Amino acid sequence: MLKFNEEKQVESVNGALQLRGSIEKIVDEIYAAGFDNIFYLGIGGTYASSMQAVTYITGKSALPVYVENAAEYLTTGNRKLTSKSVVIISSVTGSTEEMVRAVSQVKEIGARILGFIDVKDTPLAQSVDYLISYPANEQIKFFMVADRFMFNNGDFPQYEQFYKELDEHLAIALVEAEKAADSFGMKFAQDHKDDSMHYFIGAGNQWGAVYSYAMCYWEEQHWLRSKSIHSSEFFHGTLEVIDRDTAVTLFIGEDEQRPLSERVAEFLPRVCSRYTIIDTKDYELKGISPEFRGRISHLVLRAITSRIDAYVEKLNCHPMEIRRYYRQLKY
């Protein structure tokens, strides 16, 4: 398998899960002190992860939670974000311009900031009130915060059982999903590496991942044109540009919004011959109870798409690390 190190991936996921004690301590302190709103603040890929976390919470809790785009916040602000608010951020480099400036404005307001910053000696890391520095696994970290807030709010009574299963089984379940998807990923890459346009569709806690996959992976890293569409919006415009030869991939998860994607799945065969359906139900996830599978559908999606990415990169002879413009030019 290309770009696959089972031992390293298991260690990475388990290492992220071991952050739970630190996250619980921080979230418990914030919850006990009180807050008016919770904001997930991001840009690009971190905005996508923020959308996933907020969708996840909204479907399960009445907690006042919002997603905020850092660049939009810099121009528009948000009157709901006050000195009593909690802001959750993530950054790999700790230097993304929009995030640095937005966090500076948030600090002026006086809101508390929990930051997952991979590089702990950056100005952004030094700006947050609560810092956790651990590489990768952004979505796991964001969702652990969400789960602890919901637990404190009485919305997640199965919290301890859920994390017992994740601690014991998640890392292996995800690498097994990746192994199971390898031949599929190779065939998908062979079929779509030269697409002039590719539509990616999804819903629920997968929507942010679909949005990110189209923009941050296919556009930014593979230099392939793509568009992401929420399953709920597909029937309000996009369906009219789908024809026999349009490349379409539909991701179906197992959370509350699954029926939205199932509706798209029923329609696509009528008008398209180049559609692909990726359903997390097709992957075993040994050790994870059925009632918890929907909570980690987005992680399964990433395991599958990582196989696609490895083969698109190989077949197109284009290293995913190369950028033409991003951080290469001033803009």
3-state secondary structure of 60: coil
Write the CATH number for 150.
3.40.50.10490
Same domain, 148 and 167: no
In degrees, rounded to 5, the angle at the alpha carbon of residue 193 between the alpha carbons of residues 189 and 199 is 90
Residue 150 has a pLDDT of 98
Same domain, 13 and 67: yes
Average pLDDT estimate for 165-189:
98
- In-domain check, residue 320: no
Same domain, 217 and 256: yes
Residue 173: CA count within 13 A, CB half-sphere: 21
Same domain, 245 and 104: no
Chain-centroid distance, C-alpha 199:
18
In this model, does residue 212 exceed pLDDT 90? yes
Q: How many structural domains comprise the chain?
A: 2
Closest by CA to 189, choosing from 41, 293, 318, 284, is 318
What is this structure's pTM? 0.96
- In-domain check, residue 58: yes
Q: 257-309: per-residue pLDDT in tens?
A: 999 999 999 999 999 999 999 999 999 999 999 999 999 999 999 999 999 99
Same domain, 113 and 239: no
- In-domain check, residue 212: yes
Higher pLDDT, 120 or 33: 33
- Asked whether 217 and 323 are in contact (CB, 8 A), the reply is no
Same domain, 14 and 140: yes
Which tokens sit at 307? 């196989």
Residue 331 has a pLDDT of 87
- In-domain check, residue 220: yes
Residue 12 has a pLDDT of 98
Same domain, 143 and 175: no
Structural domain of 23: 6-157
Quote the CA–CA distance of 310 and 324 in Å, as a whole number.
Answer: 20
Quote the CA–CA distance of 110 and 313 in Å, as a whole number.
Answer: 44
Residue 70 has a pLDDT of 98
Same domain, 10 and 144: yes
Mean pLDDT over each residue of the chain, to the nearest integer: 97
What is the DSSP secondary-structure string of 224-248?
--EEEEETTTGGGTGGGG--TT-EE
Same domain, 106 and 123: yes
Same domain, 153 and 204: no
Same domain, 90 and 56: yes
Average pLDDT estimate for 97-113:
97
In this model, does residue 123 exceed pLDDT 90? no
Q: 221-240: per-residue pLDDT in tens?
A: 999 999 999 999 999 999 99
- In-domain check, residue 103: yes
| Interior/surface letters 27-51, b for 16+ CB within 10 angstroms, e for the rest | beebbeeebebbbbbbbbbbbbbbb
In degrees, rounded to 5, the angle at the alpha carbon of residue 296 between the alpha carbons of residues 142 and 150 is 50
Residue 281 has a pLDDT of 98
54 to 33, 50, 93, 204: CA distances (angstroms): 22, 6, 23, 10
